[in-house]
């Protein structure tokens, strides 16, 4: 791995008592029910698969035992391939009080299956979280970024390491295929099995897409992830995480610091600009804000959330 620092990247564009008592009691009951619902929906762990790594191994073994043809997964062994080549650079976007610091990992894989997903506590479900650096340590990752925070919601198409975990199309997703290419797509027009049959290795469900066919996607200034409670606005200057493909097996991973006196963060349009300037022909926005974290060789390279403290996430993307 090499590290360098490059100066300025593209510039920023610029009645009675009884009734009252009864009403209060009803309000208390309502609030109590709402609190219980919210705790169950957003706080309490719901484990669907207790050991994701074992689950993946069993699914892939079953596939191998029934597959009479040679698949791309069988014909390539990432453990015997050359290690990914990575260069990590630090850039500044904009100037003055609008300046933002961002980190770029430019990575060339000899086999895209070297890029893997891992879940917090090795468990799949909702509300299960662990710091990015801790998940990275659990799996022995050399490099890691936070993923799509799949565990915040129960929708989306989630294929990880060639295995289907969830098939509830809801939004704009990104898919990385075993041939090393990446596409952005509408989850509601396909299924996880169709994607897997087409060679999907990983899917991500957050968004929006930033760059498609080399062009910045329009409407980013009004884009939303979801409309349900808890999905705060993704507009304005924010810490960000994104993944982009330059060409097959050649990717850039970007984390932008924000919410601090030294780094303001960037808008989605600006993030798209950054990705395009790096040569990404396809790029996709991942979970950001306090989640945005980049780890290399056990060290957190950026300054998460403007405080330097990591926020627990449900998943990471990593390689060894």
What pLDDT, on the 0 to 100 scale, is given for residue 36? 78
Res 68 pLDDT > 80: no
Lowest mean pLDDT among 56-70, 146-160, 277-291: 56-70
Lowest mean pLDDT among 5-14, 39-48, 184-193: 5-14
What pLDDT, on the 0 to 100 scale, is given for residue 69? 52
Pairwise CA distance, residues 64 & 72, whole Å: 12
Res 7 pLDDT > 50: no
Q: What is the pTM of this model?
A: 0.86
What pLDDT, on the 0 to 100 scale, is given for residue 80? 62
Pick from 288, 245, 50, 276: nearest CA to 147: 288
Mean pLDDT of the chain: 87
Average pLDDT over residues 264-282: 98
What pLDDT, on the 0 to 100 scale, is given for residue 66? 76
What pLDDT, on the 0 to 100 scale, is given for residue 44? 83
Rounded to 5 degrees, φ, ψ at 60 are -65, -35
Average pLDDT over residues 189-208: 98
Average pLDDT over residues 186-200: 98
Greater pLDDT, 72 or 262: 262
**3-7, 132-136, 229-233, range with greatest mean pLDDT:** 132-136
Res 288 pLDDT > 90: yes
Rounded to 5 degrees, φ, ψ at 121 are 60, 15
Confidence band for 166, pLDDT divided at 50, 70 and 90:
very high
Confidence band for 35, pLDDT divided at 50, 70 and 90:
confident
The per-residue pLDDT for range 121-147, each reduced to its tens digit, is: 999 999 999 999 999 999 999 999 999
Pairwise CA distance, residues 192 & 200, whole Å: 9
Phi-psi region of 256 (alpha: psi -120 to 50; beta: other; left: phi over 0): beta
| Tokens (6 digits) for 217 | 């996607």
CA-angle at 231, arms to 229 and 236, nearest 5° = 135
Confidence band for 224, pLDDT divided at 50, 70 and 90:
confident
Res 71 pLDDT > 80: no
Lowest mean pLDDT among 34-43, 87-96, 168-177, 301-310: 34-43
Average pLDDT over residues 96-111: 97
For residue 208, cis peptide bond before it (omega within 30 degrees of 0): yes
């Amino acid at each position: 791995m090499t590290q360098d620092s490059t100066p300025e990247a593209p510039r920023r564009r610029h009645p009675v008592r009884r009734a009252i008592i009864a009403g209060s009691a009803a309000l208390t009951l309502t609030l109590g029910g709402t609190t219980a619902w919210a705790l169950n929906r957003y706080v309490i762990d719901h484990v669907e698969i207790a050991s994701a790594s074992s689950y993946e191994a069993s699914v892939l073994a079953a596939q191998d035992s029934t597959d009479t043809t040679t698949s791309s997964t069988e014909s390539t062994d990432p453990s015997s391939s050359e290690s990914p080549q990575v260069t990590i650079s630090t850039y500044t976007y904009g100037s003055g009080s609008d300046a933002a610091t961002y980190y770029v990992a430019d990575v060339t894989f000899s086999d895209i299956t070297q890029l893997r997903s891992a879940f917090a506590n090795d468990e799949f479900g909702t509300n299960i979280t662990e710091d990015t650096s801790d998940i990275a340590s659990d799996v022995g990752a050399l490099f890691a970024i936070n993923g799509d925070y799949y565990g915040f919601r129960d929708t989306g198409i989630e294929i990880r390491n060639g295995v289907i975990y969830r098939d509830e199309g809801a939004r704009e997703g990104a898919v990385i295929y075993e041939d090393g290419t990446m596409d952005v797509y509408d989850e509601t027009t396909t299924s996880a099995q169709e994607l897997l049959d087409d060679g999907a290795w990983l899917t991500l469900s957050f968004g929006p897409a930033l760059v498609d066919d080399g062009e910045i996607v329009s409407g980013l200034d009004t884009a939303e992830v979801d409309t349900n409670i808890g999905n705060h606005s993704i507009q304005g200057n924010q810490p960000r995480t994104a993944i982009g493909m330059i060409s097959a097996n050649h990717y850039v991973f970007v984390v932008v610091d924000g919410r601090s006196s030294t780094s303001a963060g960037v808008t989605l349009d600006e993030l798209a600009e950054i990705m395009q300037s790096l040569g990404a022909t396809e790029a996709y926005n991942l979970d950001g804000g306090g989640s945005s974290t980049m780890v290399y060789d056990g060290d957190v390279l950026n300054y998460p959330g403007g405080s330097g403290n990591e926020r627990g996430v449900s998943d990471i993307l990593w390689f060894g």
